[in-house]
Amino acid sequence: MNPQRTLKEKTITAEEAVLKIQDGDYVHVYGSSAEPNTFLENIKHLKGQRKDVKLVHFLSLFPYDFYSDESYRGIITTENMFCSRFCIDSQKSGMMTFIPNHLRNSGSDRFFYYRARGKQISIYVASVTPMDGHGYFSTATVGMSNRALVKCADIVMLEINESLPRTFGDSYIHLNEVDYVFRGDNTIRYMPAAEPDEIDLKIGGYVAELVENGATIQLGIGAIPNAVAAALGDKKDLGVHTEMLGDAIVHLYKKGVITNAFKTHCKHKMVTTFSLGGKETYDFLDDNIGVLHLDVAKTNSPYEIAKNHKMVSVNTTLQVDLMGQCASEAIGTLQISGVGGQTDTVLGAKMSPDGKSIIALRTTAEIEAKDGKRRRISKITALHGPGTVISLSRSDVDYIVTEYGIAALRGASLRERAESLIRIAHPDFRDALREEAAKAFLL
Ligand code: COA
């Protein structure tokens, strides 16, 4: 086989690629930074040509027209596995719906769905680096269910993006496995870490108290995990087994805090299933054999995570009640994000010898009330409201950390949970929480 000749034979335009979609097809794409941008921009060519297409998406960083523009109704609907903020309006208008999933099963559950209905995944479109001399493309910042999708999809199409980093692990596709290839516009979307403020740094300081030298860490998505990383600067020989690798981890590595030298699983390597960050992170990942982008079923299996001794997972939540139940992904029934790997990593850390899981959150949030005015609320609530989606059960939570301290919930009674959570709530809300807790027989 002459890879260059075969590549030429398989090359089409982005518009032709979009028109490979047929009525009723299911099209899978991943988001984050390795999103097939050009393909998604060309979805416009489906107008007047196709109907009832389903786009299965994950963490898109860009609000493409078909998320909001009514002229796409009946042509394409998005089914999302992890939402971005702009998805709220699309959920309200019905242009997008959510697929509940734990990240570890996000691929396998979907394959189960198709099998149960006698259907097939129609098309998998991946964004990839240019082909190497051996016929391999790299899916860059995406491990996820890449390999399984390549095996299961009727048609595999690749968008070539010269800006993407070449990575190692399960983030590869060979030319022989591909039906069509097209050139993209080489856009790469960044998501640099948010700058932590004073409150975030206080929280980070408390979390750092719980992290021992030589521990293996997982840092989740959001502003607080980045503040935690800033507070871990004095630690020694940390390892990384995470689902998302971002700027915070890269900075800790460059400082020499992360060495992966004492990991008891995948020693000397950082393990992740996707990456998301700024340019510095993608430059760091390029051709870096020290980072593995593995299949999500491996990175997020609690059994695999637990092979790391002293595993510490750090995630955040939108709201926690006085029993320790965390609502981390939705406000009411509207998805803000997804549970992602929060449950996977919490369970894995719990099963790890000397492991622990930490949920860190600010005590208050500013929200828009029904009258349109901004209002400050307590993120520690006595009871969740009706319809609240519980992402993490009270029996699985270990530590809750706020800017007022640490509540250790593993093994604690309901009374002790309520007392320790009120102690770390914002002082302005403690009396009301105490009153409501007593009414609910929690104190
Ligand atoms: N009630 C109502 N609104 C709330 C709220 C509450 N209790 N808590 C926060 N909000 C609002 C905020 O005001 C903010 O609104 P805005 O965008 O209009 O300002 C929005 O919800 C997001 O809150 P914020 O705290 O800024 O989010 P974040 O970027 O730090 O992310 C999570 C926090 C919880 C959404 C994010 O960590 C997540 O998705 N977690 C679940 C997935 C996970 O942990 N996966 C594992 C690792 S990848």
- Model confidence at 222, pLDDT cuts 50, 70, 90, reads confident
Active site residues per annotation: 243
Mean pLDDT for 80-89 is 94
- Condensed to tens digits (0 to 9), the pLDDT of residues 137-151 reads 999 999 999 999 999
If you measure from the C-alpha of residue 310 to the centroid of ligand 1, how many angstroms do you get, rounded to a whole number? 27
Contacts of 430 (CB under 8 A, 6+ apart): 422, 423
- Model confidence at 191, pLDDT cuts 50, 70, 90, reads confident
201 CB within 6 A, ligand 1: no
Alpha helix locations (H) across 52-119?
Answer: 87-93, 106-116
Could you identify the residue written with the tokens 């050009």?
Answer: 38
Give, for 227, the enclosing helix (H) or strand (E).
helix 223-231
289 CB within 6 A, ligand 1: no
Is the model's pLDDT at 372 over the cut of 90? no
Tokens of 311: 């595993």
**Does this model's pTM top 0.85?**
yes
If you measure from the C-alpha of residue 336 to the centroid of ligand 1, how many angstroms do you get, rounded to a whole number? 7
Least confident of 229-238, 279-288, 363-372: 363-372
Q: How many other CB atoms are there within 10 angstroms of residue 2's CB atom? A: 9
pLDDT above 90 coverage of the chain, percent: 93
Distance CA 224, CA 228 (A): 6
Distance CA 443, CA 48 (A): 62
Closest CA to 403 of 426, 369, 429, 422: 426
If you measure from the C-alpha of residue 338 to the centroid of ligand 1, how many angstroms do you get, rounded to a whole number? 10
Ligand 1: which of 199, 273, 318 to mutate, judged by most atoms within 8 Å of the beta carbon? 318
Looking at residue 425, what DSSP letter applies?
A: S
- Condensed to tens digits (0 to 9), the pLDDT of residues 292-312 reads 999 999 999 999 999 999 999
- Kindly report the protein residue whose alpha carbon is nearest to atom 18 of ligand 1: 367
Q: Are 142 and 294 in contact (CB under 8 A)?
A: no
Query: Taking the CA of residue 362 as centre, how many other CA atoms within 13 Å lie in the half-sphere pointing to its CB?
Result: 15
Three-point CA angle 360, 102, 389, nearest 5°: 65
Secondary structure E strands in 67-135: 76-80, 96-98, 123-128
Could you identify the residue written with the tokens 């009330």?
Answer: 369
- Model confidence at 192, pLDDT cuts 50, 70, 90, reads confident
Alpha carbon 360 to chain centroid, angstroms: 17
